[in-house]
Amino acid sequence: YVKVPVGTPLGSQKVGVIGTQTRYTTVEITGAPVTVTPTTGVDGQEVTISGSGFGAGVAIATITVGGVSVTNLSSGGLATTNAVTTVSADNSGNLTASFLLPNDAVLRTAGDHKIIVTVGTGSDARTGEVHVTVPGRTMTLDTASSKRGSTVTATGTGFKAKASITIAYTNSGSSAVTVGTSTADALGNWTGTFVVPTTAAIPSSNTVTGTAASGSSKTATHALPGATISSDLTEQSTGE
């Protein structure tokens, strides 16, 4: 038989028998079953992993998300001072742990990110993995065009959970001006209003930027139309 080394990546792996002739086959390396709730999240959002098939009474050694280490557990959406290593599997090999997705550039990149849970060390170690999906950030305005001094509502999704949001308005050829603030909820969604600067050029196409305290941001375009003149007269004589 072949003993699979601890730390072997999960999935399909090549096994070779080397002698006077070499033969290869593949073997599917499976880990302990692990699930994550919710399956979609942003940096700073709380998720809960549940696993089974681990060693009874064996403690978590490490948790990583997208290669970024998770240090502490969370409760009620807030980080605690309790280390993830304080969680152990019960007598049936089951465990549950909640933590915040790391505030890291990796977790601000849209796509699937692998959560790897390692329970135990050395020859007693067993690994389980599951994917969490980070959504792409969006920002929209309730109107793409309006006048100076008008109020515009901006809506963002996929930002850092509970982050302070700064809304800035950049007029063509000018520096950005902070025009509003907001706060993202526990899922990274936010809504805020701002007043279009009275100094913005007419006509112009301008950039509105929503930036989270973590550094993640998204932009939208807002236009100030040029002046128009209209008349209900189609024909008139001179002097009338």
Give the residue-averaged pLDDT of 61-78: 97
Q: What's the average model confidence in pLDDT over 139-156?
A: 97
CA–CA gap between residue 68 and residue 213 (Å, rounded): 20
pLDDT value at residue 239: 60
Residues in CB range of 81: below 8 A, 6 or more apart: 72
The length of the chain in residues reads 240
Count how many Cα atoms sit within 13 Å of the Cα of residue 38 in the half-sphere of its side chain: 12
Tokens of 204: 């112009």
pLDDT of 207 higher than 60: yes
Per-residue model confidence (pLDDT) at position 29: 55
Least confident of 10-14, 41-45, 171-175, 182-186: 10-14
**161 vs 190: CA distance, rounded Å:** 10
Confidence of residue 122 (pLDDT cuts 50, 70, 90): confident
Q: What is the pLDDT of residue 231?
A: 63
Residue 162, strand partner residues: none
Q: What is the dihedral of CA 226, 227, 232, 236, to 10 degrees?
A: -110
